[in-house]
C-alpha cells in the first residue's frame, strides 16, 4: 500500500519503543508518521522529511528532549513541537514551553487529546509556511518588477504604461499586506494559547494567493505591451468578478474601520472582455471608496444590477465627497485628491480607459461633505 504524500507528516522522537509505536498506530490513518529513537536520528529525519509537527519525549539518554528542542529551533523556528512528559516532569515541560515548544502532553496520553493537539499544531505549522510562501512570492515578484523597469527605462513610449502598472500592482499588494497582518495576529493569538480559527485562516490564505496571482497576471500583461497583439476578449461574469473583488478588499475595509456591504444580483451579468482588465477597473473604484471613508469610519455599498442591454455597478460611499472642480478633473491622469496619502492620480484614469476599451462607461455623482457614487456600465453579451 502506497502512503499518500499529501498527508501531513509527523515525526515522533522517543527512546521507548512503546510510545513510538502507539503514536504510529494512532496517527497512521490521517498522517504519514516517521519515528526516531534518539535526537540525532530525529534531526536527520527533520532535514529529510520536513515534517509538519514533531512529538518528542523530554527525558531521553544522551541528548535530551530539551537540547533537541534547541536544535530544532535553530533549523526551523516555526515548526510545531509537542513535548511528551512523564510523571513528575511538569517543571521541565514548562521550561520546554519557555524555550519554544508549542505544547506538551503527559504520559500515558489520551488518544483523543493527542489527536486534537496534533491537529491544531499541524494546522499552525502549515499556516506559517503558507504565509512565508506568499511573502516569498511577493518578494520574487518585486525583484522581477525592478529588473523589468530597469530594462525598459530607456523606452520612453512605455513610460505611461510603467506608471499604470506600478499603480495597479499597489492595490492587490495592499490587500495581501492586510491579510498577512490579520494572519500574523491570529497566529500570535494561537501561540499565546488562544483558539485558532482554521477555516477562517485558510480563507485568508486563499485570498493572499489569489492576489499574488493577480500581481503576476498584471506583470505578464504589462510585459506584453508593444510586443504582441492584444488577447481576444472572452465571456466574463461581472457578478463573479465583483464578488471576488469584494472578498479581497474586505480585509482593507476592516482594518480601515469601514463597513463594506454588497448587494449583487444572482444573474451572471455576462460581458465580453479581458477578465484582468475588468477586475483592475472595478477594484480601483472600490478601493478608492474604502480609502475615502477611512477617516470617518464610514460605509461603502456596492450594488450590481442587470438591465436589458447592460449591467450597472454602483459604488456608494459616505466619505467627504468630491467638489465640482475636482469632478471635472477626476479622470485626468496624475490628478489626485489624496495629497500626502500616497495617491498617484492614475486609478480612475486607468479605470475609464479600460471601460472605454470594453465599450462601457463610468460616471460620478457627489455631494461634498456627504457622499459619492460611481456608476460603472458595461454592455451585456448579445445586447
Q: What residue numbers bound the domain in which 90 lies?
A: 9-109
Would you give per-residue pLDDT tens digits along the chain (383 residues)? 333 457 899 999 999 998 899 999 999 889 999 999 999 999 999 999 999 999 999 888 889 888 999 999 999 988 999 988 875 556 776 777 877 888 888 888 889 999 999 999 999 898 888 888 888 888 888 788 777 766 665 544 445 566 666 666 666 766 776 676 677 666 666 655 544 455 566 666 666 766 666 666 666 555 555 444 556 789 999 999 999 999 989 888 988 899 999 999 999 999 999 988 899 899 989 999 999 998 889 999 999 999 999 999 999 999 989 999 888 888 887 677 765 455 556 778 888 988 998 999 999 999 998 999 999 999 999 75
The enclosing domain of 82 has a CATH number of 3.40.50.2300
Strand partners, 367: 371
Q: What is the dihedral of CA 201, 203, 206, 212, to 10 degrees?
A: -80
The radius of gyration computed from the CA coordinates of the chain, to the nearest angstrom, equals 27
Please check whether residues 235 and 373 belong to one and the same domain: yes
Phi first, then psi, for residue 195 (nearest 5°) are: -80, 140
Task: Give a yes or no: residue 116 inside a domain.
Answer: no
Strand blocks (E) in 64-202: 80-85, 103-106
Burial 48-73 (b: 16+ CB within 10 A, else e): eeebbbbbbbbbbeebbbbebbeebe
- Rounded CA-CA distance 163/211 in Å is 20
pLDDT tens readout for residues 184-198: 666 666 655 544 455
pLDDT (0 to 100) of residue 364: 95
3-state secondary structure of 309: coil
Q: Do 49 and 81 belong together in one domain?
A: yes
Domain limit, last residue, from 50, 77, 109:
109
The verdict on 323 and 224 lying in the same domain is no
Summary count for the chain: helices (H), strands (E): 11, 12
Reading across the β-sheet that carries 259-264, which strands appear in turn?
259-264, 299-306, 310-317, 371-379, 361-367
Q: What pLDDT is attached to residue 147?
A: 74
The count of domains in the chain is 3
- Do the domain assignments include residue 4? no
Q: Report DSSP state, residue 229.
A: P
What is the pTM assigned to this prediction? 0.51
Q: Are residues 185 and 240 in the same domain?
A: no
Do residues 257 and 345 both lie within one domain? yes
The answer as to whether 115 is a domain residue is no
Cell of 111: 488518544
Give yes or no: residues 275 and 326 share one domain: yes
CA angle 193, 196, 202 (to 5 degrees): 155
83 exposure class (CB count in 10 Å sphere: 0-12, 13-18, 19+): buried
In total, the chain counts a number of residues equal to 383
Amino acid 227: pLDDT: 46
**Long-range contact pairs involving 86-93 (C-beta distance under 8 Å, separation at least 24):** 86/58, 86/59, 89/58, 89/59, 92/58, 92/59, 92/66, 93/58
Question: Quick one: which H or E segment has residue 235?
Answer: strand 234-237
Burial of 255 (C-beta count, 10 Å sphere; 0-12/13-18/19+): middle
Instruction: Identify the pLDDT of residue 203.
Output: 64
pLDDT for the residue 265? 92
User: What is the structure's pLDDT at 376?
Assistant: 97
Amino acid at each position: 500500500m502506497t502512503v499518500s504524500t499529501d498527508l501531513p507528516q509527523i515525526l515522533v522522537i522517543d527512546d521507548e519503543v512503546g510510545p513510538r509505536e502507539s503514536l504510529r498506530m494512532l496517527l497512521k490513518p490521517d498522517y504519514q508518521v516517521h519515528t526516531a529513537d534518539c535526537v540525532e536520528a530525529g534531526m536527520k529525519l527533520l532535514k529529510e522529511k520536513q515534517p509538519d509537527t514533531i512529538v518528542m519525549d523530554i527525558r531521553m539518554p544522551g541528548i535530551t528532549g530539551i537540547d533537541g528542542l534547541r536544535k530544532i529551533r535553530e533549523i526551523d523556528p516555526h515548526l510545531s513541537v509537542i513535548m511528551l512528559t512523564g510523571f513528575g516532569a511538569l517543571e521541565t515541560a514548562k521550561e520546554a514551553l519557555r524555550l519554544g515548544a508549542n505544547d506538551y502532553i503527559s504520559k500515558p496520553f489520551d488518544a483523543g487529546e493527542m489527536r486534537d493537539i496534533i491537529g491544531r499544531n499541524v494546522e499552525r505549522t502549515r499556516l506559517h509556511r503558507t504565509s512565508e510562501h506568499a511573502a516569498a512570492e511577493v518578494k520574487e515578484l518585486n525583484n522581477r518588477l525592478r529588473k523589468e523597469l530597469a530594462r525598459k527605462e530607456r523606452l520612453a513610449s512605455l513610460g505611461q504604461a510603467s506608471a499604470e502598472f506600478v499603480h495597479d500592482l499597489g492595490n492587490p499588494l495592499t490587500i495581501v499586506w492586510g491579510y498577512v497582518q490579520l494572519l500574523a495576529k491570529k497566529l500570535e493569538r494561537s501561540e499565546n494559547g488562544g483558539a485558532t480559527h482554521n477555516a477562517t485562516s485558510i480563507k485568508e490564505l486563499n485570498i493572499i494567493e489569489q492576489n499574488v496571482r493577480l500581481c503576476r497576471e498584471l506583470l505578464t500583461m504589462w510585459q506584453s505591451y508593444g510586443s504582441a497583439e492584444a488577447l481576444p476578449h472572452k465571456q466574463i461574469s461581472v457578478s463573479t468578478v465583483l464578488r471576488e473583488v469584494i472578498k479581497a478588499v474586505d480585509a482593507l475595509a476592516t482594518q480601515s474601520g469601514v463597513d463594506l456591504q454588497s448587494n449583487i444580483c444572482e444573474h451572471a451579468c455576462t460581458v465580453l472582455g479581458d477578465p484582468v482588465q475588468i477586475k483592475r477597473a472595478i477594484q480601483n473604484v472600490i478601493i478608492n471608496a474604502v480609502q475615502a471613508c477611512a477617516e470617518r469610519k464610514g460605509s461603502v455599498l456596492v450594488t450590481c444590477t442587470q438591465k436589458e442591454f447592460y449591467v450597472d455597478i454602483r459604488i456608494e460611499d459616505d466619505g467627504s465627497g468630491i467638489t465640482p472642480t475636482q469632478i471635472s478633473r477626476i479622470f485626468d491622469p496624475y490628478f489626485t485628491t489624496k495629497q500626502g496619502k500616497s495617491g498617484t492620480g492614475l486609478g480612475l484614469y486607468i479605470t475609464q480607459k479600460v471601460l472605454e476599451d470594453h465599450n462601457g462607461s463610468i460616471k460620478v455623482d457627489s455631494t461634498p461633505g456627504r457622499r459619492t457614487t460611481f456608476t460603472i456600465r458595461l454592455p451585456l453579451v448579445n445586447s
